Structure 1
């Protein structure tokens, strides 16, 4: 019997149960017969409940300590494992990937974000410093990535990384959600937002909605800094009871979010982000999750986002800064429940037929078999 090929995924930033890393890539590869280990911060939180072998890194809250000490700790642990394939998930691990690369192994950089653009959006850095850091990052990438395989979470990343392989963040099919029906007589006036919260992800924009549409409530499921949550309550100006934030200073795991989707007939899933170059070309993971649960999408009218919801006829795209447009879109969904149900069903069918992780999983496993031809 052939020995299982050893695969190691490494992150110093993400939670050990990060959906893309843990539930999609690690579990898919283990199911395909690989010996999978995940190196991640605070791994001891999930070791007992995990079916993936996890090696824990010390959690370091300060960015500089994490980039130096956690990176070195991750390298030492990864090197000892002598894996056939290593996958890194954070830009600060690029030098580690370069050090791990040997003639006898494969090292993959899984690119979750457009990090160069992201650096240019860091408000805590002066504009000249942003440009210097972005250029330095681009130069570092061009040097270190030559020996690495590239995995891309977004289609448009291929414009920059032509040789990269796209493995998109489509949802894992949830049979319970697929079989559930949206019953118009049970529909609520509540909106749901899932995913981490930040100003650029529309936290403050969305917190203002109850001011001009007092009939709706918004529930946010995702990690939110305490200071940002306090800002959101200030923005709500007396309508604080209409915004419920479930992830203040804590990571909200996937199973909790999945349960939230099933708890009620949400009016829509929202993604009303302010205009920002970092997000304008992304197809957000939350879009596919909303669709898989039969929810219409209410999102910003970025050209890519509008084209997406128009193509699949699964939602409404509006100017996030136009309160009347947002109000009208919400009111349309409230007063046209059957049309809202059709939007949700259109999205659900698109996920079932095309936009699901099961199809991406096939591509992931086929890619690994190609990278390691002797694996059976």
Structure 2
């Protein structure tokens, strides 16, 4: 009998992370695989999930998580004797290498351009970050030779030519796709969803309140207390028009989904400062805004501008040019019918092509091919 046990592993992500749990794990479960997810413990786990979730201790200290979390993960994963071990964090590369045997498959799911990301992190001085990035690249190259690579972004193919793209497109939310926005646009309310950091434009989004005295900015996603305080300081006297949901807590997908239909949003925001880490990424939030029929207002990075132009689903601006930002906001407010049309064009693009259902087919087909190869002795 074919071993169809699959283990997904993360020490970093929330157990109900949209890509890991709602997309990959549930898709594989529905395709007939025996799926187990090993992730940090969370109060959001109800015990009613459709797959088995084994928890490890949630460690906030990076070093403790790297060492103790990896050891605990290895012990739990090894005991399952899976056909496929699919892991989601670079810190798990060593233990994934230890789990790799002749008769199983190990998949490294690459969510980020980690080498660039390490250099961008600001918790260490730049020379140390550059050294760590080079060490990471070397470790990754050595330890992942016999692993399969799963790529969440198209441009990662330039870095990992042998990787298989399973893109992080959204699940089709039929309620959102059917919800027409005619006459709903308020002309005032701007939305941001996802984790909040300075390199994801948190302070730029707060500054919008000083650029335009009419708009309100609503942010849904995890935000540290210090950053929330900094955003409020950035907004200054206009901070009463800034709403942050998710201060010091993980915001479940269901709560964010509710936000999409809670108001007639003028635009979905992604005014990020220019960094190598994000300039080529097709942000997941793009597709979620599009699914909800919300026009996008984002930075004018070449790849982002190409994307917005292709689907005619929003506007791009220099994130540091207050005049251009104000002009873009004024345009959306003065042309509500065009703003709605942008949202509808985005919604159609998601319904037709940019959705998880298409990626799910690729994932399930790839798994079947990998297991078939093992059974045939490849």
Structure 1 unpaired stretches of 5+: none
How much has 1:50 moved relative to structure 2? 1.2
How much has 1:169 moved relative to structure 2? 0.8
1:47/1:54 contact within 8 Å kept? no
RMSD, aligned α-carbons: 1.2
Matched, 1:244 2:243: yes
1:188/1:264 contact within 8 Å kept? no
Give the aligned partner of residue 162 of structure 1. Answer: 161
Secondary structure class of the residue paired with 1:169: coil
Give the aligned partner of residue 356 of structure 2. Answer: 357
How much has 1:277 moved relative to structure 2? 1.0
Matched, 1:121 2:120: yes
Distance 2:198 2:43 in 1: 31
Q: For 1:41-190, list aligned pairs within 5 A.
A: 41-43=40-42, 45-185=44-184, 187-190=186-189
Distance 1:4 1:351 in 2: 35
2:185/2:336 contact within 8 Å kept? no
State how many pairs are aligned: 374
Give the aligned partner of residue 214 of structure 1. Answer: 213
Give the aligned partner of residue 292 of structure 2. Answer: 293
Superimposed CA distance per residue, residues 316-362 of structure 1 (whole angstroms, 9 cap, x where no aligned partner) = 00000000111111111111000001100110000000000000000
> TM-score scaled by structure 1?
0.97
Secondary structure class of the residue paired with 1:117: helix
Runs of 4+ residues over 4 Å off in structure 1: none
Give the aligned partner of residue 16 of structure 2. Answer: 17
Superimposed CA distance per residue, residues 92-129 of structure 1 (whole angstroms, 9 cap, x where no aligned partner) = 00001100000110000000000000111122222211
How much has 1:275 moved relative to structure 2? 1.0
Superimposed CA distance per residue, residues 38-65 of structure 1 (whole angstroms, 9 cap, x where no aligned partner) = 0000156414131110000101111000
1:154/1:282 contact within 8 Å kept? yes
Distance 1:266 1:185 in 2: 8
2:185/2:266 contact within 8 Å kept? no
> TM-score scaled by structure 2?
0.97
Structure 2 unpaired stretches of 5+: none
Give the aligned partner of residue 235 of structure 1. Answer: 234
Secondary structure class of the residue paired with 2:95: helix
How much has 1:130 moved relative to structure 2? 1.4
1:189/1:217 contact within 8 Å kept? yes
Superimposed CA distance per residue, residues 67-113 of structure 1 (whole angstroms, 9 cap, x where no aligned partner) = 00011000100000000000010000000110000011000000000
